[in-house]
Amino acid sequence: MKKIILLLGLLVLGIGLIAGCKAKKEDSGSAAPAKVEESNVKIISDTLEGITVSAEYPKQLWCAETIPGLSMRIYNVPTIKDVGSDSPQIGIRIEKGSNFDYFDFYKKDFKDLKNLPNKTIGGIDMKGRTYKNVGMEWSEYLGKIDEDHVVSIKISINEDSFVDIENGEGKEIIDSIKFEKAAE
């Protein structure tokens, strides 16, 4: 009887080993899919007044939206649902025309208006200014893309958010901004 139980045990063990080897052989027959690392960066792109604008921003704690054909905004909050009127943001707006009058429309309401050093963004030398308006502090850079297009990049800062948007991730976003004439 002991021999029969021992033989049955060996038989079960053998069947288990054979099944395991067969399964392993089937698995090794097809190559495992390559592991693709997911990027921690998102890209926003839109055509504003005939100019394609793009920027990269970190997936975590940042989100973006476009108002088609009008402007692009990248917010320092996790989702669009979290955006409030005081959310730190980088806004990009392009106007067709050869002057900056559009961006100076509310200039009379600016408080503490000061010039900033020029900054190159997207290959364009831009004049900078800082001011307070609608309860927030803003840095704005104005530049000429070509003879027909001017651009404003506005950076708002909410002192309560502890975000210095012009350094770190904010600086990386600003440095990633690109302008390209859209195909006609």
> What are the structural domain ranges in the chain?
41-181
The string of pLDDT tens digits covering residues 66-125 is 998 889 999 999 999 999 888 889 999 999 987 888 898 888 999 999 999 999 999 999
Strand order through the sheet with 124-133:
63-67, 71-75, 89-96, 149-157, 136-146, 124-133, 111-121
Q: Residue 82's pLDDT is what?
A: 93
CB 94 within 8 A of CB 48: yes
Show Cβ contacts of residue 66 under 8 Å, excluding neighbours closer than 6 positions: 44, 46, 72, 73
Find out if CATH 3.30.1130.10 is the number for domain 41-181: no
Q: Residue 128's pLDDT is what?
A: 95
Q: Residue 5's pLDDT is what?
A: 45
What global pTM score does this model have?
A: 0.75
The string of pLDDT tens digits covering residues 10-66 is 444 444 434 444 444 444 444 444 444 567 899 999 999 999 999 999 888 899 999
Q: Residue 159's pLDDT is what?
A: 65
pLDDT value at 166 more than 60: yes
**Which amino acid would we find at residue 66?**
T
